[in-house]
Amino acid sequence: MNATIAGPAADEAPAQPRRRDFLRLSSTRQIAAAAATAVASVTQAASTDKSDDIIYMSATKLAGLIRQRKISATDAVEAYISRQIDVNDALNAVVTNSFKRARAEAKALDEKAARGEFVGPLHGVPMTIKDSLDTEGVVSTGGTMGRQQFVPAKDATVVARVRKAGAILLGKTNTPEFTLGGLSGISTASNLLFGGSHNPYDLTRSTSGSSGGAGAIVAAGGAAFDIGSDWGGSIRGPAHNNGIAGIKPTSVRVPRTGHIVDYGGVFDLWQQLGPMARRVEDLTLITPIISGPDFRDASCAPVPWADPAKVDLKKLRVAYCADNGATGQSATDEDTKKTVRQAAKWLEGATASVKEDVPQQILLELNAARTKLTGGDAWQFYQRLADKFGSKNFSPSVKERMKSMTPITSAEYVEAWELQDLGKSRMLEWMTGYDIFICPVANKPAQPIDAEPGAGFGGPGTTWQYTGIFNSTGWPSTVVRCGSSADGKLPIGVQVIAAPWRDDLTLAVASFLESKSGGWQKPPI
């Protein structure tokens, strides 16, 4: 008997489960079946993408053309490899490639297609993967010296699932060390091993982090999609800075197994994994594929996926804020506020109601609790990561931070934890009046890589005010490009947020906003 029901794209399970294992697994069969049915219904949706260039069309459209045998997996892989070779010297977004293996996998998939066999909804679609996620047989550094030649024996759960669905890995994308510590004075995805990445809309600007390499290469047409991680804004910031779409799913919807900062501890529920792509329809395709328990990440919840296509926008009550008043000296700029207000304007008439409202005091209290928790042990959690992977030389910015910090008492730490949970409850109460909350991702578009601290997204004090809140609460948040800087050069995204497990609402609204704004635009590189 084969009991492989770990999720919509199941991982291997023991060949001969014990009786108690059988009972445990059997109790989740209905959940797994419901999730699988939801995946099937989502993947049958036709693409609305009008792009006709392989490297710029959505993963959804590309997968459909491969299934129709109008494009081969080999064609797709070669097109994306060529694009990476053209742009990556300037972007420094892809730090390790796996071109030889990708070509072999594409050939094998084309042979299957010739027989009318397709391995899954992503059959033949080329991807990159953030370097903090383990990839079997491909160097996975997590941006730290101790893993500079580390080759995992198995894929992270999310990687295994998209590969099982047919996606082909082209390479690994740049991230700060452990996704948490970049180089001193550099506000972009950077580390001691590979240096810093550059924004495809302006090479002097930040990609944001920590999934900055992912955001840059996807925006530039070097991969159909990537999978990032988000501890405080690390999917959403790069989606905003690089003009693409990204989702931070509801906390513990997606297993973190195989990510360099995975699960467990006080920060457990902050860490979430999710896809990044040029089009919202790809987030809808990929998120259910990577969701569901793997029976290793003990926090991962078996919650069925709701199809965004079934959302009735006319019934949604929307709240928005163009400035939550929490960014202090780094005030939200006019271009960003204009973009959010335009998004709200588009939703008037399309939804039940749109109201400007923000729980400012709750947000301030959540940010205060999060800041205290993060610095509570004077970043010794980072030192433990360095020790775990044997990194004697680690992020200089983190070393400097640690020197200036003093641990708080255990009583103060527990109090901050309690205040965070209280803030989560108060946010849920506030949200009973709404279905969707829209706000900025950051206070400004992408800022110069060598900007003064605090000058923009990635600088101290400018990220958590809009993004970290929703790691603390665990709420789903989808980012989509809705505007540009005044000169038209830099993208500006907005966050579309809903209460826990209503990822479908965020995707439905983000898709609508994308239809109005045009979403991703081809960068000049």
Question: Closest Cα partner for 501 from 206, 336, 302?
Answer: 302
Do 43 and 58 form a contact (C-beta atoms < 8 A)?
Answer: no
Q: What share of the chain is helix, strand, coil (3-state, %, to 5)?
A: 40, 15, 45
Instruction: Write down the catalytic residue from 61, 130, 172, 444.
Output: 130
Q: Cis before residue 291, ω within 30 degrees of 0?
A: no
Show the DSSP H helices in 211-302 as ranges: 212-219, 236-242, 280-290
Question: Backbone dihedral region of 487: left (phi > 0), alpha (psi from -120 to 50 degrees) or beta?
Answer: alpha
CA angle, corner 256, sides to 254 and 258, nearest 5? 135
Active site residue 392: no
β-strands 436-440, 491-497 pairing: antiparallel
Instruction: Write down the catalytic residue from 72, 190, 210, 251.
Output: 210
Active site residue 26: no
Cα–Cα distance, 385 to 491 (Å, whole number):
34
Q: Could you tell me the sign of the dihedral formed by the alpha carbons of 400, 406, 407, 412, in that order?
A: negative
Q: How far is CA 444 from the centre of its chain?
A: 20
Cα–Cα distance, 315 to 387 (Å, whole number):
52
Cα–Cα distance, 436 to 148 (Å, whole number):
42
Cα–Cα distance, 146 to 515 (Å, whole number):
45
Instruction: Write down the catalytic residue from 58, 190, 234, 330.
Output: 234
Element holding 36 (H helix, E strand): helix 29-43
Active site residue 130: yes
Question: Closest Cα partner for 125 from 55, 39, 217, 43?
Answer: 55
Contacts of 36 (CB under 8 A, 6+ apart): 8
- Cα distances (angstroms) measured from residue 455 to each of 214, 328, 442: 23, 11, 11
71: its two tokens? 């494009």
Q: Collapse the DSSP code of 130 into the 3-class scheme (helix H, G, I; strand E, B; otherwise coil) and give the result.
A: strand
Catalytic residues: 130, 210, 234
